Amino acid sequence: MAVFEKPHALIDVPLHYCPGCTHGIVHRLVAEVIDELGIEGKTIGIAPVGCSVMAYNYFNCDMIEAAHGRAPAVATGVKRADPENNIVFTYQGDGDLASIGMAETVHAAARNENITVIFINNAIYGMTGGQMAPTSLVGQVTQTSPYGRDPKLCGYPIKVCEMLSELVGPEYLERVTVNNVKNVRNAKKAIKKAFQNQIDGKGFSLVEVVSSCPTNWGMTPKQALDWIESDMLPYYPLGVYKDRSAEQKEAE
């Protein structure tokens, strides 16, 4: 009896990610959700620029490569071209989504565009070698902040879920992480809800996944998972930041 199988929506090839990087876990969760919702043939993913730039090699659905940060704009076009049939998700890092792509993110959320956004917050620019990201923590040592991020010089890290929750537009915003089994399970529930919302026509759903980058953080995989708990989560608390349908139901 098979007790473990790779989801069908994930192509059976080795991933190029570094040891201990959590991109692979999130890929798997997205693929499991696509399988469980039976939407593989309808799903179109928008790959970002960043470590997951080659996500099109891993997901078994149609994939499009967007210019850096522009995934929500590409997703908008693809979704609107055939809203009844296309299930569209973007998969973006924090440099991609919260720096160069911030305008696309905010406006897609404000329009309540009916898309699903998977946002990988690893507090660093991974692909380019560990520069400071808009989400790097105060004091965090990166290639471009060798003495630690100084807010006087670089400002404060951006809390994307909190910021977007002030908009009227978005349907659903949740922050999760994948640093232990319980949190991986919760992350999957959030990702599934973000896809289900789109199927139900509810609108913009973003799941922020607090993720690890052991290579650029200069840590072992285990230290990186612990650093998520000790340093990332106090600044980026997990939870639901907006769930408009649930709020409406409560109000009724």
Ligand X SMILES: Cc1ncc(C[n+]2csc(CCOP(=O)(O)OP(=O)(O)O)c2C)c(N)n1
The site for ligand X (CB under 6 A) is made up of 49-52, 68, 93-96, 100, 120, 122, 124-128, 133
In whole angstroms, give the CA distance from residue 72 to residue 182. Answer: 30
In whole angstroms, give the CA distance from residue 7 to residue 105. Answer: 29
Edge-first strand order for the sheet with 172-177 is 62-65, 43-47, 87-93, 116-121, 205-210, 172-177, 239-243
Q: Which residues contact 252 (CB under 8 A, 6 or more apart)?
A: none
Q: Which residues contact 56 (CB under 8 A, 6 or more apart)?
A: 45, 47, 63, 64, 65
The smaller minimum CB distance to ligand X, of residues 34 and 120, is found at: 120
In whole angstroms, give the CA distance from residue 26 to residue 91. Answer: 10
8-state DSSP, 97: I
The smaller minimum CB distance to ligand X, of residues 142 and 183, is found at: 142
Q: Output the smallest distance, CB 5 to ligand X, in A.
A: 27
Q: Output the smallest distance, CB 161 to ligand X, in A.
A: 16
Q: Output the smallest distance, CB 149 to ligand X, in A.
A: 15
The smaller minimum CB distance to ligand X, of residues 143 and 180, is found at: 143
Q: Output the smallest distance, CB 105 to ligand X, in A.
A: 12
Q: Output the smallest distance, CB 169 to ligand X, in A.
A: 23
The smaller minimum CB distance to ligand X, of residues 114 and 122, is found at: 122
The smaller minimum CB distance to ligand X, of residues 95 and 203, is found at: 95
